[in-house]
Structure 1
């Protein structure tokens, strides 16, 4: 067991590595009444094509299978896992993203009993032809529900406009057609490949005994042998966007929109990816933050409201920036944003604004350390990217004015931008 204490952040973390490749982390939070535990695999919706680590054969499975697996793991031969957690007073859940699947619980009591349940059910899949067929109907209903969700629709329409080939453009749950192709054998194949300890981590955050946590993992881990790394296969993605504008009509009162910028600077070493992310966050705050003159002007003109915000998704294989919200004139907002970016490119970034934005970004990151769930999930995301979240926070202060200027030019290219709009049904 390794102990690391961060003198700057005053955070204490314990790390344990196991021969089968599993790594476990305990972020010690003294005097916290609540505790979080997550069991995560580096396996998400984009991982539908890969080289099998034992046979070396290329395998391609139906879209949506990672999300399908997440659903099915909660079902047991004698019922479902939620009942077991409820008995010990824990709130349990899971989520599938583009790159990872995370199973977790939060509790204020009976931590070790709940932790045992987490370690147990994630390692014991129970798939039958009958329960797989039944789940197809449930997930199909979920997909239809999301198709009618304007925020979900505007988001995935944006990804369809940004990306030509990459599977990030495909709904995490898959499609109505793809889930019908999923079989029990497909689920076991993907489970045995991606739910191997060498592709997983355990993260615990709270006032718990690290040694006891690590001993429980050692005792309960079923797979003992190491597995070589899984090689994912992604299609070659061109730099260009797929389409400039996409719109749809749903039952809403006010149009909603996202404007996207496709980032073509990817496949970077971890440190460079950290700095790219930091510079983008600072730059976004300078350009579009709620304290900027630009935001204030659009707000006064009635072009945006409090829903206006931005997000940067930074992964080793793909990255994109998006900004949006509600507006009665989304195309006009798009036009104004492009004009604003060009204006800032011409006159340059203000140094005082740069320093202010750094403080805002730093404050936003530090606040995550007071929220067990946010901190733990951010830790998982960062770890699977090869990034240390504690180093990320400390590197914000080293962000340079010149690099931020260069980032403005490299990311915000009008030719690599597009807009997705959901309009009210007339």
Structure 2
């Protein structure tokens, strides 16, 4: 039996402005609020009323910044006067606004909803925000890790929206206007799937009463269909070199997998199987990492990074090393000839127990729990589903995924100091 994720029932209702509300009473010192809008960095093409709309890359992030503009001033500063901490974040598929604090939570939530429902965009404040975002883009343009990630994605992908940064480019930002932001706001910020989640020591009936009193005017919500981009199974480029201002060379190895089933639960299961596979083959306890360190080819273990969006599952392992060509040679021999020997029941069960234990420990943090609840709920899934999915994964699942890979699904990037060019 799975552990109980929330000790009390979740209270759900819908406001007349179309916002779905989930209230989660719990015994905590702080109340956390999360308001999710179903638009993110890779929401670049959608259909509404039979019309296909193109979105300028960076628009979701720009909208997240600009939504805090109000006729009275900066919404962030106003929220701080209520004694709460506020933040916002744009991911690949979602824009989230968060609040946490001990007091004035309802007051802050009402202010946040009104701010999101009633945008204040002008040509002047959009132009002003453009300068701020350009500075943010420049910061990432100068960051070696970001440059490496972009380069490897360009080797893995042909035309998927993941090739575009969440922030967009300076050229993209130049094209974003007050009118384009208002169009996106109308189609997504009044969307039927947006959700407000509140967890903490709250009186759910009092919260429902106050929220309904403040938002009793009916608003028609919008419905859109996000259009997906087909992506080939093979990588675009199998190997390349990148010269940067770095002291130590590195090797990045990218794996590309196309989901056969597109429902979120199936994609989530595949992502967990991939995590298990990579931990078994290249984790701290793996024979490959141990051998590479003993041979002096690398001094530390591999870093891992996974991206699981739409039909794409990308996994990257990388390590700083002067022996990048040796690592590649050893990797190819190991992955295609010897790795199956690592996939034993004993190794699998040890790794699975450790992973599941760590996952359950993360749920002790209510902010993490709220984030996962919101992410899964937008995709018709629950935290309980996630736990059960991890428990249900078998060694056969891991072996089947491993055996599905071939050389055309893997790309290598060597990052070298500029003086080696």
TM-score (norm 1): 0.89
Question: For the residues of structure 2 that align with 1:375 and 1:167, how far apart are their CA atoms?
Answer: 28
Matched, 1:142 2:139: no
1:46 alignment partner in structure 2: 42
Cα offsets for 1:320-357 (capped at 9, x unmatched): 11222433333433443333322445436110111011
| 1:253 match: secondary structure | coil
Distance 1:6 1:408, change over 3 A: closer
Partner of 2:23: 26
In structure 2, distance between residues paired with 1:68 and 1:79:
18
Out of 100, 105, 121, the position equivalent to 2:99 is 105
- Which shows bigger deviation, 17-26 or 201-210? 17-26
Matched position secondary structure for 2:154: helix
Distance 1:220 1:421 in 2: 57
In the alignment, does 2:409 pair up with 1:416? yes
How big is each residue's C-alpha offset from its partner over 1:251-293, in whole Å with a ceiling of 9 and x where there is no partner?
3322344321111124433442332233222222212222223
1:264 maps to which residue?
258
8 Å Cα contact 1:17/1:24 also seen in 2: yes
Instruction: Say which of 374, 383, 391 aligns to 1:397.
Output: 391
Superimposed CA distance per residue, residues 10-39 of structure 1 (whole angstroms, 9 cap, x where no aligned partner): 644514132665322234431x22232111
Q: Larger deviation: 104-113 or 152-161?
A: 104-113
- The CA distance in 2 between the partners of 1:11 and 1:295, in whole Å, is 42
SS at match of 2:23: strand
Q: Give the 3-state SS of the residue equivalent to 1:105 in structure 2.
A: strand
1:352 alignment partner in structure 2: 346
| Structure 1 pair 25–390 and aligned structure 2 pair: CA distance change class (3 A) | farther
Of residues 102-111 and 71-80 in structure 1, the stretch that sits farther from structure 2 once superposed is 102-111
Report the equivalent of 2:119: 125
1:16-415 to structure 2, matched below 5 A, reads 16-18=12-14, 22-30=19-27, 32-52=28-48, 55-221=49-215, 224-225=218-219, 227=221, 229-306=223-300, 308-347=302-341, 349-410=343-404, 412-415=405-408
- Is contact 1:253-1:424 (8 Å) kept? yes
Distance in 2, matches of 1:191 and 1:257, equals: 42
Alpha-carbon offset, residue 136 of structure 1? 1.5
Aligned with 2:306: secondary structure?
A: strand
What is the CA–CA distance in structure 1 between the aligned matches of 2:401 and 2:412, rounded to whole Å? 21
Q: Which range moved further: 400-409 or 103-112?
A: 103-112
1: CA distance, partners of 2:192 / 2:354: 37
Distance 1:260 1:391 in 2: 28
Relative distance call for 1:315 and 1:330 in structure 2 (3 A) is same
Measure the CA separation in 1 of the matches of 2:415 and 2:399: 33
The 3 A distance-change label for structure 1 pair 269 and 158 is same
- How far does residue 72 in structure 1 lie from its aligned partner after superposition? 0.4
1:154–1:257 Cα contact (<8 Å) kept: no
Inter-partner Cα distance in structure 1 for 2:408 and 2:181: 41
| Distance change >3 Å, CA 366–CA 79, structure 1 → 2 | same
Mark the runs of 5 or more structure 2 residues left unpaired by the alignment.
Answer: none
CA drift at 1:9 = 4.1
Say whether the 8 Å CA contact 2:273–2:397 is kept in structure 1: yes
Q: CA RMSD in A?
A: 2.6
Q: 1:346 to 1:423 in 2, by over 3 A?
A: same
How far has the Cα of 1:394 moved from its partner? 2.5
CA contact (8 A) 1:244 1:417 kept: yes
Runs of 5+ in structure 1 lacking a partner?
none
Displacement of 1:95 after TM fit? 1.2
Please state whether the residue corresponding to 1:199 is helix, strand or coil: coil
Contact 1:96 1:102 in 2 (8 A): yes
Deviation (angstroms), 1:56: 2.6
**Equivalent position SS for 2:87:** strand
Residue 89 of structure 1 and its aligned partner are, at CA, apart by: 2.9
